Structures are given as C-alpha cells and as structure tokens.
Amino acid sequence: MPNLFTPYTLKGVTLRNRIAMSPMTMYRSTDGKLDDFHLMYLGARAAGGFGLVFPEQIAITPDGRTTTHCAGLYDDNQIEGHKRVVDMIKSMGGVAGIQLGHTGRKGSLVTPWEGGHMLPPEHEAGWQTRAPSAIAYGGDMPYVPRELTTGEIDQIMQDYADTTRRAVEAGYEWVELHFAHGYLGSEFFSPLANRRTDQYGGTLENRTRFHLQALDAVRAVLPDHIPLTMRLGIDDLHPDGVTVDESITAIRWMKEHGLDLADVSIGFNTDNMQGDIPIGTLGGMVKNATRVRDEVGIPIATSWNLGQPELANRVIEEELLDLVYLGRPALANAHWPVYAARLLGYQDPFSLVPEDWAWWLRNLRGADEAIGWPAATNGATLTEVAGVSAPAPVVEETAFEQELAELEAELKPA
C-alpha cells in the first residue's frame, strides 16, 4: 500500500515522495526573471523534503503574465535564472517542475496587496489583454480583452513549444500546463468566456481544441521521459459553465494526446460561482479528482485544503490520488514533509532533508521534543512533559475528525 512518503514514478522521472509544492505566484520577478529570492524560496522547500517543486506559473509571453512582477520564460535571457533554481532544487533532492501558462483576460493587474484590480491598457504597467472572446471578466477586471485571431492562436502554440525548449535547457524534468483558474486555457474551455463561432468555440470538441493543440506542441519538443501534466479547471460551478462530466470526456481526449497526469482544480471563470463550493472544505476536490482517475484511467493530483498530514496520507493510502499538491502549507512551513513525517510516525523523517542536516537532527540533539513541532512526546501532554500549558490548536481535534469522517463517507463507493 502506498503512503505519502512512497516514491512515485511517472514516465522516466521518479519523485522521492508523493508531496508536491504547488505553483504560487510570488510577484517578485523583474523583467520576468527568477533571481536570488526564488533560489532561496524554492531551494528551501526542496531541502525541506518536497518531492516535486514548482515555481509560480511561468508565462509563455509578456502579456501572459498576471502583473509586470510575474515570472516568464519567453526570452532566452531568462533561462539562466531558471537554471540556477533548477540546479538548487536538484542538489537538495527534489525534482524541478515548471508550470507554463498565459493569463488571458486576467492579466494587466496590480499585486493582490495593492488591490488586485486591473490596469487599463494605456497604463505604463498595463497592457491590452487577449482572450478567446471579447468578454470582460467583470468586477475588478472590467477592461474588455481583444479576441484572438486564429493566426495568433497558432503563434501561442509556437510560444508553448519555444518556452518548453527553454525549460528543458534550464533542466526542468516535469512540465505542466496551467489551464485552470480563469486563465487562457480555462477561458477557451468555458462557455462563460468562449463565445467563438469558429473551430475553437461552441461544442466541447471545439472548446478543447486549444488544449489538444497545446499538448501536441509541447509533446513534440519535450523528451519522451519527461512527464507532461495539466492543471485543469474541471468545474465552473455555474449552470452555464463547464461541468465535471464534460471535463472527464475532454481529459480522455487529452490522454490520447500525451497527457500523463491531470492536476484538477476549479475553472474560476466567473465570480458568481453557485452551489457547494468545494475549495473551502478539507479535501474538497478529492471526490471529483478520484472520479476522474477512475473513469479516465489517468494518474491524478489535486490541491485545496490537503495540509492536514493525516488527510494527505490517507488519500494516498486509499489510492484516491497519486500526488498531493500543497500551496499555503508549503508557504507556512518549508519543512512540511518533515513535519508530516514526524506527526505520522514515519520511521526516519530526517531522511527527507540533506544528509548533513540529517546527521545533526538524528544525533546529539538532547530532548527529542525540543527540535520543534510536532513534539515527539509519545502521547504525553506538554503539561506532563514540561509543566506548561499547550496553546489551543488552530483546528480543534473534534471538528477536524468530524470533517474528516464526513469526507470519508462521501468518498466511499456506493
């Protein structure tokens, strides 16, 4: 039976465990380049035991960024920064993955802490966005994108191929396409954003054409041993949007075009999502992810509220997922895998860190519980061990167990 710390092989690449650091935009780039910040930030997560480490979504064109502070790989002069990061991740025992994308009508923004609103095309830090159709997202993104021509779509396919070539040159060993969260690929997929009447709009087959062409373009230049995966928005949570049933059909087609693993998420093509929104609950995406895995017969991963080690381990043990992607938990704790290993009683949790660190942690360390959370107290309370009161947990055990039990009940086969 696999567990969270079991190695995982896809194509010709083996991860040391089932724990991936999910791509998260950091807004720390200048001219699209990765620099010392990214070297520190991503290297620390690899040193902390993550098996697969992604930088943020990497733009394939300048107008594919979210802000002017976002990273790209659309120019050869950006390769060096990526190579430094990749080399660091590898030296710390991780596999470096890259997520390629284009933000479509959700670009030309300011950073979230500045409000996250859209800048007009004429602004010095803004630009004219492009999308499948000339439909604004709305809300804080009111400016209408320009509809892509078929010639521009052809060029975007070339951009995917060219960026992949640069990624391989930089040393990445895992390539993912970001076709979720209301970005360009997700926009083509969703009737909420795609009103085209040509071969890229209307039917599900036409709305998936962009995905299949992108897979073909990337696969044509990607070495056979490197996995090609996709983060896909499988549900718009809106009656006029993409459904899980449609996505399952589309993923079957994608599998035929070289997709090796589906990383499933939400479409986010509207701010008017309806019904039960799964991303606010523990393991909220697991049920639909497992359905994709079972019905398509493809390896599967997802994120969203899997940061409780017991839950993350359980979805791997029960073969509901193949990989667990962690975003905010990776930000909060660079050594989350070690934390989880200690909490779950893994035999040698310090095998997840570099050998020189592991030596110090295994030897001459005094009280085991003094290293840090979780304290290895063999079930004793802090009061019993040291005569001090433990702070109240952020999530009460009873509430967590109740939510976990509800999730398990949903996941049990009928």
Neighbours of 299 (CB within 10 A): 18
DSSP string, 29-60: -BTTB--HHHHHHHHHHHHTT-SEE--SEEES
Q: Which residues, at least 6 apart from 83, have a Cβ–Cβ distance to it below 8 Å?
A: 169, 170, 171
Cis peptide, bond prior to residue 337, ω within 30 of zero? no
Cis peptide, bond prior to residue 62, ω within 30 of zero? no
Report yes or no: 301 and 321 within 8 Å, Cβ to Cβ: yes
- Which has the closest alpha carbon to 54: 66, 67, 71, 69? 71
Beta bridge pairs of residue 52: 20, 95
Q: Which two tokens stand for residue 246?
A: 């449609």
CA distance 184 to 229: 16
Active site residue 183: yes
- Strands (E) across 257-322 are located at 261-265, 300-302
Backbone angles phi, psi at 297, to 5 degrees: 75, 45
Burial of 110 (0-12, 13-18, 19+ CB in 10 A): buried
The active-site residue, picked from 27, 137, 172, 183, is 183
Residues annotated as catalytic are 183
